[in-house]
Amino acid sequence: MSTAKVDIEAPVTRPVYKVYKRRFWGLAQLVLLNVVVSWDWLTFSSISTTAAEYFDVSESAINWLSTGYLFAFCVASPVVIWVLNKGGPKPAIVITATLLLVGNWLRYAGTRANGGIFGLAMFGQFVIGLAQPFCLCAPTRYSDLWFSDKGRTSATALASLANPLGAAIGQLVDSIWATEPSDIPNMVLYIAVIATVASIPSFFIPAAPPTPPSASSAIPRTPLIPATRQLFGTLEFWLILAPFSVYVGFFNSVSSLLNQILSPYGFSETDAGIAGAILIVVGLVSAAVMSPITDRWKHYLGSIRVLVPIIVASYIGLIFAPSSSAGIAPMYVVMALMGASSFALLPIVLEYLVEITYPFSPEVGSTICWTGGQLLGACFILIQDALKAGDSASPPSNMRKGLIFACVLTVIVAPLPMSIGWFGRTVRRRRWDVDRGVELDAPETTTPPQATGDAPNENISHVDSGSVKDASCKEVRVNT
């Protein structure tokens, strides 16, 4: 009697990827911290004249409250990369909350003691500046850890753009709370209380989801040192880093100097506060529209090529708007245009950088880009303040030369991001490919010249990240 062999093939177990509702608690806390830390940054900028009178210092000294804050960001950045890479967003959020608590109460002591101690207030501002990069650089890491490809850009936008939202709140509220020099201590006290309340939930948010949200999140990332080394050897990274740093830098500079840009033409601190609020609010609305569209269609590079020229146009308009015979209205229009284009572009660029450098961990590139923006922002504040016209100019102390300087630099860097994907180089959205089950093989040399910047078959020819194979993984999203 013969027996037939029967091969029984075991069923293939495919991973199940989940997104959890609890992810929104951590996102909300990240948003809240970014609002407060940015509010702290511009506490004195919209009321620079009043603050200078209270501390009995020059407006240039008041500018250092914003400038030193930005330099503090650069000091903390290497630690930020290490914390986010090794511990994830939770430790970074806790560190942010701790530094916010210390810095705000030190700053309050500096405004209340002995009628105002400028050095102590500056030190408190510097401590808060150390807190900012821990929450500002965390959004791409947080969205990558907790969100799938259907919501990453929106999550990054929400957390990142909360930072300028805080600036808008500061521009409006601070000018209302401090109409006289004697109001400065109470204004700082109110902000310190708000920062304290906002910081407490940071210690209770979950650290990581029980299971990965997507296939790309489940794959181990390139170690920190090799990733950083390879990133600096990537052309496309530099094509993003340079304009990102310049545009963020001038946004910081214009936000800090807005009152000094407008006051020579007879506009009040309230007018400057409204202009700053328009910049932020219109930008937030624009980002709220663009981010879900980008999540849906993944047209990162196309959006960059549309938005960059609009940013340049807004800086050109900024030269002429303050002196316009039509009053404050042209300034409001320019601020709206600058806000809409800049805010819509920010999360798109940050997520695009993560896409094309995958499997590098998201915080490496984003922290370097943010550091470049803060460093240039501090330098631009000093340069534009030095370019301020003298008392004999018409009008006295106008900042027209500083605005021309901003315009020239924004024009110079504009072609860089526009050229991504040109000259035979192609750039692949690698993380999205993994989430779709597409096999990634790192090429050895060059890529086909006919491929285009945002096409599904694009490839990045310079990141040696090995091979990522996940074609058998089908993603299932479950709200838990």
Give the CATH number of the domain where residue 341 resides. Answer: 1.20.1250.20
* Per-residue pLDDT band at 35 (split at 50, 70, 90): very high
- For residue 218, what pLDDT is reported? 85
- For residue 272, what pLDDT is reported? 87
| Residue 447 belongs to some domain of the structure | no
Backbone angles phi, psi at 339, to 5 degrees: -65, -45
Most confidently modeled range among 97-106, 154-163, 254-263: 97-106
| Residue 453 belongs to some domain of the structure | no
DSSP 344-385: HHHHHHHHHHHHHHTTS-HHHHHHHHHHHHHHHHHHHHHHHH
| Residue 328 belongs to some domain of the structure | yes
d(CA 129, CA 126): 5
- Joined together, the tokens standing for residue 465 give 């990240």
Of the candidates 464, 454, 445, the residue with the CA atom closest to the CA atom of residue 426: 454
Per the structure, the count of domains in the chain is 1
| Residue 358 belongs to some domain of the structure | yes
d(CA 108, CA 25): 29
Handedness of CA 210, 211, 214, 220 (dihedral sign): positive
> Contact 384/253 with Cβ under 8 angstroms?
yes
- Joined together, the tokens standing for residue 312 give 């340049």
Kindly state the average pLDDT of the residues 425-432. 80
The domain of 390 spans 23-418
| Residue 149 belongs to some domain of the structure | yes
| Residue 455 belongs to some domain of the structure | no
Measured CA to CA in angstroms, residue 37 lies from 133, 163, 251 at distances of 10, 7, 16
Of the candidates 23, 442, 46, 22, the residue with the CA atom closest to the CA atom of residue 268: 46
Kindly state the average pLDDT of the residues 78-99. 96
Most confidently modeled range among 47-56, 218-227, 321-330: 321-330
d(CA 151, CA 291): 9
Three-class SS of residue 467? Answer: strand
Name the least confident of 284-293, 346-355, 421-430.
421-430
d(CA 390, CA 102): 39
Name the least confident of 19-33, 272-286, 439-453.
439-453
**In the predicted structure, residue 270 carries a pLDDT above the cut 90:** no
Measured CA to CA in angstroms, residue 402 lies from 254, 398, 429 at distances of 10, 9, 38
- For residue 447, what pLDDT is reported? 35
Half-sphere exposure of 197 (CA within 13 A, CB side): 6
Kindly state the average pLDDT of the residues 10-16. 60
Three-class SS of residue 441? Answer: strand
Other residues' Cβ atoms within 10 Å of the Cβ of residue 56: 11
- For residue 443, what pLDDT is reported? 37
Tell me which amino acid residue 371 is: T
Measured CA to CA in angstroms, residue 54 lies from 113, 188, 287, 384 at distances of 12, 13, 37, 24
- For residue 446, what pLDDT is reported? 32
Higher per-residue confidence, 104 vs 6: 104
| Residue 38 belongs to some domain of the structure | yes
Of the candidates 316, 307, 295, the residue with the CA atom closest to the CA atom of residue 409: 316
| Residue 4 belongs to some domain of the structure | no
Model confidence, pTM: 0.81
Of the candidates 270, 336, 343, 263, the residue with the CA atom closest to the CA atom of residue 307: 343
- For residue 462, what pLDDT is reported? 40
